[in-house]
């Protein structure tokens, strides 16, 4: 991918250092649509919501937006009424600089919890930020939203809608959603497609279900998680207002882009050495399949066994057993990639265990469980649990 | 405590090596009441139940038992119909040796999952095991049930019931319930009190609620967890059949003994460096308090912060936020021991944070959360998450 690939008609991007991060890296980003844009959003389900999330949830109801202002280095979470005031103030400065209505600005923050934003630094930097907006500013914006990320995470795709070529570019930050203090997941997507906000919201929700909502590193949901999708319509095709064949084409592209972004977050999971796909099949229903998948993905015993490349299927059965999903232990089949290791709840032993065990030496593999209870399936992406995870998270603040 | 303290009238104990464990340590234990005894039991809630658990659950329905035969080194779990046959066979050998009805024998196993029991070794050892039964055999039995335990875990207490002195002795094995492959939690308690099985079961259930069911290291429940309480009545007082003042006295002693045993399991949690009490107050109800406590205790982020002695209260608020318990973020208060660190959902900062932070340097401390939503409380015992945990569990089988 070349930088040029991340131009999207009508969008400008910027990212600069405002001195919020102590290390002098970029920490203030701006994404701006030159025309008012349809917008859809998904926000954290954590009951403790950061101030910018609360402001964003309120503003997005209108379905129209024109810019997102993001700071890293400070989450503006657990900051009370002052936090809300601060989030609104920042968007008012950006609105004034851009000459647009403040209500068209969506704020987002990521970083340390419980510390007031350094407002003065941000106010002083807004003019420079707006000054540096450019169609080629994509990577600057990406850098500005990064915190513990080991690498920038971006994806793009194109398709045709009603005869016009449309483009979709996305960025995400987060290393496994595992650091509420610093590594919220933020994702911003922009497209020049023309899609009505209500339909756009349905599409984003559907895409998130198979991407951002299907990854887990350690089960924590941050106070700041936010996904925003802007569709400014500058490609010029007639507006999509309901799901049709063109809608399906866009949905498919959107889901794929989101899934790629989400997988890159898992890959960057703190201390992760393995990318593991957990596929549950034959559950009573989807809800049961989900419970089973999460029980496996969240079991520290299973995760450490992955890290140790130990084909310890007993731990997986044990996790299934307390997942709450309906199972008959003597009906469970288990596979590592294509290799069977458990049949009817019992280990196949010998050669089978050896073959399946080899799979765990790979960097990425799939664990498939067939419960033989019904037609429910669920696919979840997760990681192992390593020494590095403990190291990073034990010494994070000090 | 002296060995002599663990004599209980009418009970004999034994523990020998049958060669099930590769290292030659004791792995076959027997607890025997010379007279038929009232018995109560609690078994794993995991849907995947080991064969001995299934046999035990069936037999305990009659409320009468006389012995428990325990092997370590092999869990007899995920072993299909053969596993059930094996568990029954072993108890038939013991029954024959003791000259009692097979139905009075309760089996228990702990160790590796998915491997058939070495039946011949066990059959060959039963005569020696029975031969070595002794009123002073307590510690031999304790050793025989240990697996990854770093130290033996025992507790005893005495009280008066209806004018007679009664004794209660308990043993437990398990290092944080965190190794389904090897470290199931097994606990056996014996008393010479005379208590009707139905009442005994109620008492044990109540005691377990504040002890074995209130500890967690990593949220995994094993396939073999079993708690058995024998009351053989040899102290000679009239039988307790319903809860009265004497019943309350016994209940209180039983709860205390179980809590001490349970805490010792947490202290021995694999790789644990801290024993942490999570106290939730002011929840809407007890169920909510429990959800909140477990969300904190199971958050790897919170646990690694404890390990790193980092007063990272943002992670605790974050865990509360996704716990599912009803909370108002700006009503939450948080304390480390007696020191306040969060008031109305916001960090108190400065001196407060410093004082509270010092608490984390201790080996054992309490985290108190007041949700100000109602009167629900819950007390949970847990540990931190350390390098050692990963080390032990990543390399366990290989």
Domains of chain B by residue range: 3-267, 275-394
> What percent of chain A stands above pLDDT 70?
92
Strand B226-231 vs strand B186-191: parallel, antiparallel, or unpaired?
parallel
> What residues contact residue A330 under an 8 Å CB cut-off, 6+ apart?
A344, A345, A346, B80
Give the three-class secondary structure for A9: coil
Is residue A102 predicted with pLDDT exceeding 60? Answer: yes
pLDDT at position B181, please? 39
Please tell me the distance from the alpha carbon of residue A96 to that of residue A395, in angstroms, as a whole number. Answer: 41
Active-site choice (B110, B184, B234, B368): B184
Find the residue in A nearest to B217 (Cα).
Answer: A300
Q: Which residues of A touch B222 (CB under 8 A)?
A: 318
pLDDT at position A383, please? 86
Closest CA to B145 of B204, B232, B45, B74: B74
Closest CA to B175 of B262, B59, B300: B262
**Residue of B121 and A384 predicted with greater confidence:** B121
DSSP A311: -
Give the three-class secondary structure for B45: coil
State whether A390 and B304 contact (CB < 8 Å).
Answer: yes
Query: DSSP alpha helices (H): ranges in B195-244?
Result: 197-209
Question: Could you report the per-residue pLDDT of B178-187, keeping only the tens digit for each?
Answer: 433 335 789 9
> What percent of chain B stands above pLDDT 70?
92
Q: Which residues of A touch B112 (CB under 8 A)?
A: 314
State whether B310 and A218 contact (CB < 8 Å).
Answer: no
Residues in chain B, overall count: 398
State whether A398 and B310 contact (CB < 8 Å).
Answer: yes
Of the options 1.10.3720.10, 3.60.70.12, 3.40.50.720, 3.40.190.80, the CATH number for the domain spanning B3-267:
3.60.70.12
- B110 a catalytic residue: no
With beta carbons less than 8 A apart as the criterion, state whether A161 and A185 touch: no
Is residue A221 predicted with pLDDT exceeding 80? Answer: no
pLDDT at position B218, please? 58
Place of tokens 């951002």: A212
Please tell me the distance from the alpha carbon of residue B283 to that of residue B239, in angstroms, as a whole number. Answer: 39
Is residue B122 predicted with pLDDT exceeding 70? Answer: yes
Give the three-class secondary structure for B124: helix
State whether B310 and A397 contact (CB < 8 Å).
Answer: yes
Q: Which residues of A touch B218 (CB under 8 A)?
A: 299-301
State whether B395 and A308 contact (CB < 8 Å).
Answer: yes
Is residue B361 predicted with pLDDT exceeding 80? Answer: yes
> What percent of chain A stands above pLDDT 90?
69
State whether A396 and B312 contact (CB < 8 Å).
Answer: yes
pLDDT at position B53, please? 97
pLDDT at position A29, please? 98
pLDDT at position A177, please? 44
State whether B300 and A47 contact (CB < 8 Å).
Answer: no
Find the residue in A nearest to B394 (Cα).
Answer: A308
State whether A387 and B390 contact (CB < 8 Å).
Answer: yes
List the single residue in B219, B310, B327 with the smallest CB-CB distance to A47: B327
Q: Please report, for residues B32, B167, B330, the alpha-carbon distance to residue B292 in angstroms, rounded to integers and kept in the order given.
A: 41, 37, 16
> What residues contact residue B131 under an 8 Å CB cut-off, 6+ apart?
none
Q: How many CB atoms lie within 10 A of CB B213?
A: 17
List the single residue in B80, B342, B393 with the smallest CB-CB distance to A346: B80
- Average pLDDT on B100-104 reads 97
Sign of the C-alpha dihedral, residues A107, A111, A114, A120? negative
Give the three-class secondary structure for A114: coil
DSSP A212: G
DSSP A23: T
A318 reaches B (C-beta below 8 A)? yes
CA distance A332 to chain B (A): 10
Both structure tokens of B352 = 């407060």
Q: Which residues of B touch A45 (CB under 8 A)?
A: 322
Q: Which residues of A touch B213 (CB under 8 A)?
A: none
Give the three-class secondary structure for A73: strand
State whether B318 and A48 contact (CB < 8 Å).
Answer: yes
Contact pairs from chain A to chain B, CB under 8 Å: 213
Q: CATH number of the domain at B275-394, please?
A: 3.10.20.340
pLDDT at position B121, please? 97
Is residue B299 predicted with pLDDT exceeding 50? Answer: yes
pLDDT at position A392, please? 63
Work out the pLDDT band at B397, boundaries 50, 70, 90. very low
Both structure tokens of B264 = 């010792």
With beta carbons less than 8 A apart as the criterion, state whether B64 and B36 touch: yes
With beta carbons less than 8 A apart as the criterion, state whether B75 and B184 touch: yes
With beta carbons less than 8 A apart as the criterion, state whether B83 and B109 touch: no
Please tell me the distance from the alpha carbon of residue B14 to that of residue B31, in angstroms, as a whole number. Answer: 7
What ipTM is given for this predicted complex?
Answer: 0.71
With beta carbons less than 8 A apart as the criterion, state whether B154 and B258 touch: no
* Strand positions, DSSP E, A50-125: 64-74, 105-112
Is residue A30 predicted with pLDDT exceeding 80? Answer: yes
Active-site choice (A79, A148, A184, A368): A184
Closest CA to A109 of A197, A49, A157: A49
Place of tokens 């119909």: B81
Determine which of A86-100, A179-193, B265-279 has the lowest per-residue pLDDT on average: A179-193
Sign of the C-alpha dihedral, residues B268, B274, B275, B281? negative
pLDDT at position A5, please? 84
Please tell me the distance from the alpha carbon of residue B81 to that of residue B61, in angstroms, as a whole number. Answer: 21
State whether A308 and B113 contact (CB < 8 Å).
Answer: no
Determine which of B14-28, B131-145, B290-304 has the lowest per-residue pLDDT on average: B290-304
pLDDT at position A180, please? 35
B interface mutation test: which of A109, A147, A180, A272 has the most B CBs within 10 A?
A180
Find the residue in B nearest to A306 (Cα).
Answer: B394
CA distance A323 to chain B (A): 8
Q: How many CB atoms lie within 10 A of CB B185?
A: 24
Give the three-class secondary structure for B172: strand
State whether B346 and A79 contact (CB < 8 Å).
Answer: yes
Closest CA to A177 of A27, A45, A40: A45
pLDDT at position B4, please? 72
- The burial of A101, by beta-carbon neighbours within 10 Å (0-12 exposed, 13-18 middle, 19 or more buried), is given as exposed
Instruction: Please identify among residues 27-66 of chain A the ones whose CB lies closer than 8 Å to any CB of chain B.
Output: 45-49
Question: Could you report the per-residue pLDDT of A328-377, keeping only the tens digit for each?
Answer: 999 999 999 999 999 999 999 888 888 988 999 999 999 999 999 999 99
Please tell me the distance from the alpha carbon of residue B284 to that of residue B273, in angstroms, as a whole number. Answer: 32
Determine which of A210-219, A269-278, B372-381 has the lowest per-residue pLDDT on average: A210-219
pLDDT at position A182, please? 38
pLDDT at position A217, please? 61
With beta carbons less than 8 A apart as the criterion, state whether A260 and A157 touch: no
Place of tokens 């658990």: B53
Residue B33's H or E segment, with its range, is: strand B28-43
Q: Which neighbouring-strand residues pair with B276?
A: B365, B382
Is residue B99 predicted with pLDDT exceeding 80? Answer: yes
B159 reaches A (C-beta below 8 A)? no
pLDDT at position B180, please? 35
Determine which of A210-219, A311-320, B162-171, B284-293 has the lowest per-residue pLDDT on average: A210-219
Is residue B370 predicted with pLDDT exceeding 70? Answer: yes
pLDDT at position A282, please? 97
Please tell me the distance from the alpha carbon of residue A261 to that of residue A214, in angstroms, as a whole number. Answer: 12
Residues in chain A, overall count: 398
Give the three-class secondary structure for B301: helix
**Residue of B133 and A265 predicted with greater confidence:** B133
With beta carbons less than 8 A apart as the criterion, state whether B369 and B252 touch: no
Is residue B125 predicted with pLDDT exceeding 90? Answer: yes
Closest CA to B379 of B174, B221, B209: B209
Please tell me the distance from the alpha carbon of residue B318 to that of residue A213, in angstroms, as a whole number. Answer: 18
> What residues contact residue B368 under an 8 Å CB cut-off, 6+ apart?
B279, B281, B334, B335
With beta carbons less than 8 A apart as the criterion, state whether A317 and A301 touch: no
What one-character-per-residue DSSP string does B258-327 give? Answer: HHHHHHHHHHTSTT---EEEEEEEEESSHHHHHHHHHHHHH-HHHHHHHHTT---HHHHHHHHHTSSS--
B116 reaches A (C-beta below 8 A)? no
**Mean pLDDT of all residues in chain B?**
91
Report the predicted TM-score, pTM, of the whole model to 2 decimal places: 0.78
Please tell me the distance from the alpha carbon of residue B163 to that of residue A271, in angstroms, as a whole number. Answer: 62
Both structure tokens of B367 = 């985290």
* Strand positions, DSSP E, B57-142: 64-74, 105-112
Closest CA to A311 of A255, A243, A242, A367: A367
With beta carbons less than 8 A apart as the criterion, state whether A224 and A52 touch: yes
């Amino acid at each position: 991918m070349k930088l040029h690939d991340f131009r999207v008609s009508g969008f400008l991007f910027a990212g600069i250092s405002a001195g919020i991060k102590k290390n002098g890296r970029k920490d203030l980003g701006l994404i701006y649509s030159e025309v008012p844009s349809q917008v859809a959003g998904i926000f954290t389900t954590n009951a403790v919501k950061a101030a910018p999330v609360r402001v964003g949830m309120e503003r997005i109801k209108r379905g129209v937006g024109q810019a997102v202002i993001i700071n890293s280095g400070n989450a503006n979470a657990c900051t009370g009424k002052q936090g809300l005031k601060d989030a609104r103030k920042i968007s008012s400065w950006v609105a004034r600089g851009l000459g647009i209505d403040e209500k068209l600005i969506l704020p987002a923050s990521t970083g340390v919890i419980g510390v007031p934003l350094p407002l003065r630094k941000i106010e002083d930097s807004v003019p420079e930020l707006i000054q540096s907006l450019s169609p080629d500013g994509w990577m600057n914006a990406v850098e500005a939203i990064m915190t513990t990320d080991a690498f920038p995470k971006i994806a793009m795709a194109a398709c045709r809608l009603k005869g016009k070529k449309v483009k979709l570019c996305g960025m995400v930050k987060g290393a496994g959603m595992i650091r509420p203090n610093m590594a919220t997941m933020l994702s911003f997507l922009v497209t020049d497609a023309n899609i009505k906000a209500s339909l756009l919201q349905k599409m984003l929700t559907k895409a998130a279900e198979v991407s951002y909502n299907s990854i887990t590193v350690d089960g924590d949901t941050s106070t700041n998680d936010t996904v925003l999708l802007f569709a400014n319509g500058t490609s010029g095709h007639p507006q999509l207002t309901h799901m049709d064949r063109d809608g399906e084409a866009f949905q498919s592209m959107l889901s794929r882009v989101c899934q790629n972004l989400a997988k890159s977050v898992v890959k960057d999971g703190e201390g992760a050495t393995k990318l593991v796909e957990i596929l549950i099949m034959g559950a009573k229903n989807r809800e049961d399949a989900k419970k089973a998948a999460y029980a496996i993905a969240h079991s520290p015993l299973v995760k450490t066994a992955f890290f140790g490349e130990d084909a310890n299927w007993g731990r997986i059965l044990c996790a299934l057993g307390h997942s709450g999903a309906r199972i008959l232990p003597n009906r469970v089949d288990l596979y590592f990639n294509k290799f069977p290791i458990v049949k009817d709840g019992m280990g196949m032993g010998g050669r089978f265990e050896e073959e399946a065990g080899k799979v765990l030496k790979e960097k990425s593999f799939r664990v498939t469980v067939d419960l033989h209870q019904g037609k429910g399936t669920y696919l979840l992406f997760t990681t192992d649990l390593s020494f590095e995870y403990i190291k990073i998270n034990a010494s994070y603040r000090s």
